[in-house]
Amino acid sequence: MIPAAFDYHRPGSLEEAVALLARHGDEAKVLAGGMSLLPVLKLRLGSYAHLVDIGRIPGLDYIKEEGGLLKIGAVTRQATLERSELIRTRYPILGDAVPLIADPLVRNRGTVGGNLANGDPANDQPAIMLALGATFVVRGTRGERTIAANQFYQALYTTALAPDEILTEIRLPVPPARSGGAYVKLKRKTGDFAVAAAAVQLTLDGKGAVARAGIGLTNAGPTPLEAMDAAKFLAGKTPDEKAIAEAARLAASESSPGADVRGSVEYKREMARVMVTRALRTAIQRAGGQ
Amino acid sequence: MASHQIKLTVNGAAREAEVESRLLLVHLIREVFRLTGTHIGCDTSHCGACTVILDGQPVKSCTVLAVQADGAKIATVEGLEQGGKLHPVQEGFTEKHGLQCGFCTPGMLMTASALLERNQNPSEQEIREAISGNLCRCTGYVNIVKAVQYAAGKMR
């Protein structure tokens, strides 16, 4: 399969990249790892007259803790995250998720920024960003601004990014003491998108009750979904099996998956409930709770 | 900018080509450089038959633009054999019957050789994970795993 013709641009800086996007508007698309974009072009599900390759712009590939935040450069490859000691030891929710994304060869090319900015509700990392309360740093012709993850996803493949803006950095608050996170995904085989998947990040207070909970769902509707009712329900509660069951039930009822080859709406809702249950149990355990 | 002059290293040799923006790396390798050992299978980045090593990392060359490989070092299955001597992974696939039809084999060999570059003593689980993006419809993977273990033994 051969994509429709386009012009390829390789800007050397973010300023150049943003200027190219501004000049070509809707006809331009940002190319990072290309693991979502190239299949779209090859299958001719979409076409763009201009591709702006940000893959070689220096300074967009890093993972570091700084000023109470974990900062991830948008062009950081999934394989880099997967091999990061910092991620494995301090951010198990991401450590869980990365090996479940696509397959190892795709992870050698695919980037975190691409996974997030594509706006595909089937991608795994958006739900994690919702659970963690992440902030996205974006750059456009008018300069830099930040967008909260829960304000970023507006509709299917539609994000808060303006046509001239590029996602440059992901910022996650460093979790306080007694925090734990987990990502649990049901998929049919390696390389498949989730039937259902749940991201949970929570912090317990001194008495073992939930101080804060964030719950994100993958492939549970037209956008990555934040299960707010479930999170609100958990706040202040001792996270015992009864509370877990009710939170998972609420999260599943907040989901609105579509029926497809991966199953019926009923099946996917039920699996969302099971994934949230499992993610909550692991997250609580990792936070030092029961 | 619809066509680009690119330079890359393929199996150690410097190569140049003028490529259209939309030319895929796998087509550059097969149709321009005539290295047809790299196969096109599903053409949708699932099967891994088109796997080549790009700057040390195995990637699916059906889902990389040729122009994205400008300046890169590419290794294909043709580069595994050195001076008439099979690479240990090739020997392993021969010795352990790691193939039947052979269509997935070039991709499997490249992924396996990249794994053994960074991990000389992989567990069975690590081998299975490493090749999880390469599909084989014949062997059931059992002999492929044995072939990689054989190669690991040879390389230690």
Closest approach of chain B CAs to the CA of A108, in angstroms? 7
Residue B15 has pLDDT above 70, yes or no: yes
The pair of three-digit structure tokens given for residue A272, joined into one six-digit string: 């969302």
Of A55, A108, A191, the CB nearest to B46: A191
The pair of three-digit structure tokens given for residue A122, joined into one six-digit string: 């089937």
What percentage of chain A reaches a pLDDT higher than 90?
99
- Angstrom CA distances, A87 to A62, A71, A111, A232, A290, stand at 12, 11, 15, 27, 24
A145-197 tens-digit pLDDT = 999 999 999 999 999 999 999 999 999 999 999 999 999 999 999 999 999 99
Closest approach of chain A CAs to the CA of B85, in angstroms? 27
B-chain residues within 8 Å CB-CB of A10? 67
A-chain residues within 8 Å CB-CB of B129? 99, 104
| Residue A56, burial from CB neighbour count under 10 angstroms (0-12, 13-18, 19+) | middle
Q: What is the pLDDT at residue A197?
A: 98
Beta A50-53 vs A143-148: how paired, if at all? Answer: unpaired
Residue B144 has pLDDT above 80, yes or no: yes
For domain B88-155, give its CATH number from 1.10.150.120, 2.60.120.560, 3.40.50.720, 3.40.1160.10: 1.10.150.120
Mean pLDDT of A259-276: 97
Residue B1 has pLDDT above 60, yes or no: no
Closest approach of chain A CAs to the CA of B54, in angstroms? 10
CB contact under 8 A, A1 and B44: yes
CB contact under 8 A, A5 and B133: no
- Domain A179-285: give its CATH code: 3.30.390.50
Q: What is the pLDDT at residue A252?
A: 98
Give residues with Cβ within 8 angstroms of B81, minimum separation 6. Answer: B87, B90
CB contact under 8 A, A7 and B1: yes
Q: Do B3-79 and B88-155 come out as alike in CATH topology?
A: no
CB contact under 8 A, A6 and B21: yes
Residue A6 has pLDDT above 90, yes or no: yes
Q: Which CATH architecture has domain A63-173?
A: 2-Layer Sandwich (3.30)
Mean pLDDT of B6-12: 98
CB contact under 8 A, A103 and B21: no
Of B43, B67, B133, the CB nearest to A104: B133
What percentage of chain A reaches a pLDDT higher than 70?
100
Residue B156 has pLDDT above 60, yes or no: yes
A–B interface: beta-carbon pairs under 8 A? 87
Q: What is the pLDDT at residue B2?
A: 85
Q: What is the pLDDT at residue A89?
A: 92
B-chain residues within 8 Å CB-CB of A6? 2, 21-22
Q: Where are the domains of chain B?
A: 3-79, 88-155
Of A6, A9, A79, the CB nearest to B22: A6
Q: Which of A23, A38, A61, A105 to mutate to test the interface with B (most CBs of B within 10 A)?
A: A105
The pair of three-digit structure tokens given for residue A93, joined into one six-digit string: 């929710």
Residue A290 has pLDDT above 70, yes or no: no
Amino acid found at B150: Y
Residue of A nearest to B135 (CA): A190
Helix (H) or strand (E) holding A199: strand A196-204
DSSP-based three-state secondary structure for A191: coil
B-chain residues within 8 Å CB-CB of A104? 58, 111, 129-130, 132-133
User: Cα–Cα–Cα angle for A254, A281, A264, nearest 5°?
Assistant: 40
CA dihedral A133, A134, A140, A144 (to 10 degrees): 90
The pair of three-digit structure tokens given for residue A209, joined into one six-digit string: 């009750």
CB contact under 8 A, B132 and A103: yes
Q: What is the pLDDT at residue B73?
A: 98
Average pLDDT score over chain B: 97
Residue A84 has pLDDT above 70, yes or no: yes
Residue B82 has pLDDT above 70, yes or no: yes
CB contact under 8 A, A104 and B60: no
What is the C-alpha to C-alpha distance for residues B25 and A6, in angstroms, rounded to an integer?
16
For domain A7-53, give its CATH number from 3.40.50.2000, 1.10.260.40, 2.40.37.10, 3.30.43.10: 3.30.43.10
- Domain B3-79: give its CATH code: 3.10.20.30
Mean pLDDT of A196-210: 97
CB contact under 8 A, B57 and A108: yes
Buried b vs exposed e over A186-205: b needs ≥16 C-beta within 10 Å? bbeebbbbbbbbbbbbbbbe
Mean pLDDT of A63-87: 97
Q: What is the pLDDT at residue A289?
A: 76
Closest CA to A30 of A66, A54, A62, A2: A54
CB B67 within 8 A of CB A41: no
Average pLDDT score over chain A: 97
Q: Where are the domains of chain A?
A: 7-53, 63-173, 179-285
CB contact under 8 A, B21 and A1: no
CB contact under 8 A, A109 and B59: yes
**β-strand partners of A170:** A72, A136
The pair of three-digit structure tokens given for residue A7, joined into one six-digit string: 């012009």
